[in-house]
Chains A and B, each alone.
Chain A
Amino acid sequence: MTFVDHYPKAARIVKANLIVAFVALGIGGFFGLIQALHRTDVFRGFVSSVQYYDVLTGHGVLLGLVFTTFFITGLYQWGVTRTLEREPESSAFSWTWFWMMVGGTTMTATAILGGLVPGSGMSAAVLYTFYPPLQAHPLFYIGAALLIVGSWLAGADWFWTYRKWRADNPDARIPLQTYMVIFTWLMWYLCSLGVALEVVVLLIPWSLGVVEKIDPLLPRTLFWYFGHAVVYFWLLPAYFVWYTILPKLSGGRLFSDPLARIVFIFFLLLSTPIGYHHQYADPGITLVYKMWALIMTLVILLPSLMTAFTVISSMEHGARQRGGSGYFAWMGALPWGQPAFVGCALAGIMFAAGGFSGMINASLNIDMLVHNTAWIPGHFHLTVGTAVALTFMAITYWLLPQLTGKALKFKNLALAQPYTWFIGMTLMSNALHRQGLAGVPRRVAEPQYAGIDYEVPFGTMAEMDWQVAIGGTILFVSMVLFLVVIGGTWWKGAPATDVDDVIPPALSGPEHSPKILDNLTLWMGVAVVLVLIAYSLPLAEMVMDGLFSPGAFPAPM
């Protein structure tokens, strides 16, 4: 008896979400391969250099927004159902949000892929940061809005379950997994409001031709109001896995449950007010707000360092229970032959490296050296592209038997998968970082220019290009391995008898922590106040001269 037997309705919803996530992963990953080969001039036969931008948009949107969102809604549905021990209150409602998200995704994807079909009259090569003056087909924006609203309803579904549970358990502490779901979604409501307003109020009328010109700064600011917090929307579910499941996979128990709660409070409070750090290079935003964002960004390192401490100590606890000892030697006692563990652990290591390049990005002045260069995709393939994506893939190896009642198939391929991803990403990411230092731009189909030689600080351009191409190919192969294991398990997996689905309680449980940590109204209130401080004046100033002015014409796409 496992999850699928106890909660068949929830299991179906979780599985449906994961299927969409993995389809997006497959298509988006293939686009990634095309980019890695095209940019480096290793092979330019898949698409033309104009279509490159359709592919790039598809890659960014399908992986950054679709794969992540659907995986997260699936994972969180599992966590809520499992820890509150309740099926969804209404299947009809759950399927409504799911199909709304699928409908939105289909519209957005159609608009993007239309750009690859000559004569379709559709195009959406606006890149995944879809603000003006680049303009997409209206379908793109309408679909994006539906995806977001669908995710809001998913959250409402979990709050509904939570309220029912609360009525039955008036004095209990919120179980940790549900606590994390709630805090992630409170943050998500707060930040995605910005992008929803951008899309519905500004971009949809503009793309439909109701208004002709658009003020570039206002939608951009609204986008980044959402655009930094969205990285925590991706990351917190990975933390959810690292805090609540990884300790067990390591053979131990979570070190401290209250510390995990405090970390999630930090993220709710600080994720949204720091969006300006993506606008360091924008005119029209005063330096005061940029400095404020810089300081707050360094403060938000704190909860990530707390996470490093808690997660590493939980792993150490596991290693010591498995007989490990010493200052560093204990790491050898970890289960390096278990795919789910290995994926999460390697994802964590990559995240530590991404932390460093992230600190460079956050530093207002140093950022100017790397702004819009290949350094940036080098950075975020360590964070969202590995810390998040590899964690999601790895934990699927552990979740799928619970969701399908089938034993994992192709265990050796599953074990090879995280290692190959790690190797591929080491090659691709280090080379992208170094190309960025040499001034190679990101988002360019043919980043080579007549008469200009890049000054390469470390290595040679040819060597870096090859590392990107080979690394990208290895990553693609790794992703195919993942899909084979998942597909094989789903269709051909033998029925599992004893599915491993037990999560032991934390070493230091919530009963030792103040109840104020669970006060949702309080923390949401503080978060709203911090957002108002950071955003009300600048936004008011941008709106006062008219929503669509000073206006600029759309860039032809």
Chain B
Amino acid sequence: MPTDEPEASTGGGTTDEASGKARDLPLDEFQPYGTLAVTGAYFVLLLVLYALLYFVEFATHAPHIIE
């Protein structure tokens, strides 16, 4: 029987564990700082990799990867 609580389940997805829902978090109380941190970290990583790319590919003025 579909219910609005994920507790009831024998499917492969949300089972007992997912019902470990501790509270109900409405939209106006939800501040996605974690999302900011994760996407920010990915962005910094991209910049670092791009900088690295410059050094390994172009700084030698040769068609080599490193040298």
Chain A contact residues, CB within 8 Å of chain B? 1-2, 245, 248-249, 251-252, 255, 305, 308-309, 312-313, 316-317, 319-324, 326-328, 330-331, 335, 337-341, 352, 356, 359-360, 366, 369, 397-398, 400-402, 407-408, 411, 414, 437-438, 455, 457, 496-502, 504, 507-508
- Which of A249, A255, A352, A356 meets B13, CB within 8 Å? A249
Count of chain B residues with Cβ under 8 Å from any Cβ of A? Answer: 44
Residues of B within 8 A of A438 (CB): 65
- Shortest beta-carbon distance from A278 to chain B in Å: 21
Contact A1 B1 (CB under 8 A): yes
**Contact B65–A398 (Cβ < 8 Å):** no
Q: How far is the CA of A251 from the CA of B9 in the complex (A)?
A: 13
- Contacting residues, chain A, for B13 (C-beta < 8 A): 245, 249, 338-341, 397-398, 500
Tell me if A414 and B12 are in contact (CB < 8 A). yes
Contact A323 B66 (CB under 8 A): no
Q: How far is the CA of A445 from the CA of B3 in the complex (A)?
A: 54
CA distance A366 to B14 in the complex (A): 44
Task: Give complex CA distance A85, B36 in Å.
Answer: 37
Having A316-B32, A338-B12, one finds 11 other A-B pairs with CB under 8 Å, namely: A327-B37, A331-B34, A331-B38, A335-B14, A338-B13, A397-B12, A398-B14, A438-B65, A498-B10, A499-B10, A500-B15
Q: Are A411 and B35 closer than 8 Å at their CB atoms? A: no
B18 CB contact (under 8 Å) in A338, A359, A401, A408: A338
What residues on B are CB-neighbors of A338 within 8 Å?
Answer: 12-15, 17-18
Q: Measured between alpha carbons, how far is A397 from B49 in the docked complex, in Å? A: 36
Q: Which of B4, B5, B12, B25 contacts A398 (CB 8 A)?
A: B12
A/B interface sample: 10 pairs, CB < 8 A: A248-B6, A312-B38, A322-B22, A331-B34, A356-B46, A398-B13, A408-B10, A498-B1, A502-B6, A508-B27
Contact residues in A for B67 (Cβ distance below 8 Å): 455
Q: How far is the CA of A341 from the CA of B12 in the complex (A)?
A: 9
Task: From B12, B25, B64, B66, name the one whose CB has the most chain A CB atoms within 10 angstroms.
Answer: B12
Q: Do A251 and B6 form a contact, CB below 8 Å, given A335-B18, A352-B42?
A: yes
* Interface contact B66-A457, CB-CB below 8 Å: yes
CB distance from B56 to the nearest CB of A (A): 7
Within 8 A of A (CB), among B11-67: 11-15, 17-18, 20-27, 30, 32-35, 37-39, 42, 45-46, 49, 53, 56-57, 63-67
Q: Could you tell me if B25 and A317 are in contact, using CB atoms closer than 8 angstroms?
A: yes
A500–B6 contact, CB under 8 A? yes
The 8 Å CB contact of B57, one of A352, A369, A501, is A369
A316 touching B35 by the CB < 8 A rule? yes
The answer to whether residues A496 and B10 also contact, given A308-B39, A309-B35 and a CB cut-off of 8 A, is yes
Q: Which residues of A contact B37 (CB under 8 A)?
A: 327-328
CB within 8 Å: A-B pair count: 147
A369→B63 CA distance, assembly (Å): 8
Residues of chain A lying within 8 A (CB to CB) of residue B35: 309, 312-313, 316
CB-based contact A322/B20 at 8 Å: yes
Q: Name B4's contact: one of A309, A402, A502 (CB within 8 Å).
A: A502
Bound together, the chains give a CA A498 to CA B67 distance in angstroms of: 63
Complex CA distance for A400 and B12, rounded to whole angstroms: 8
Residues of A near B34 (CB, < 8 A) are 312, 316, 319-320, 324, 326-328, 330-331
A356 touches B49 (CB 8 A): yes
**Residues of chain B lying within 8 A (CB to CB) of residue A324:** 34
Partner of B33 from A249, A327, A496 at Cβ < 8 Å: A327
A508 — which chain B residues lie within 8 A by C-beta?
27
Supposing A1-B1, A255-B32, A502-B6 touch, asked if A321 and B21 sit within 8 A by C-beta, the answer is yes
Distance (whole angstroms) from the CB of B49 to the closest CB of chain A:
6
**How far is B67's CA from A457's CA once the two chains are assembled, in angstroms?**
9
Residues of B with C-beta under 8 A to A328: 34, 37-38
B27 shortest CB reach to chain A, Å: 4
On chain B, the residues within 8 Å of A317 by CB distance are 25, 30, 32
Q: Is the CB of B65 within 8 A of A401?
A: no
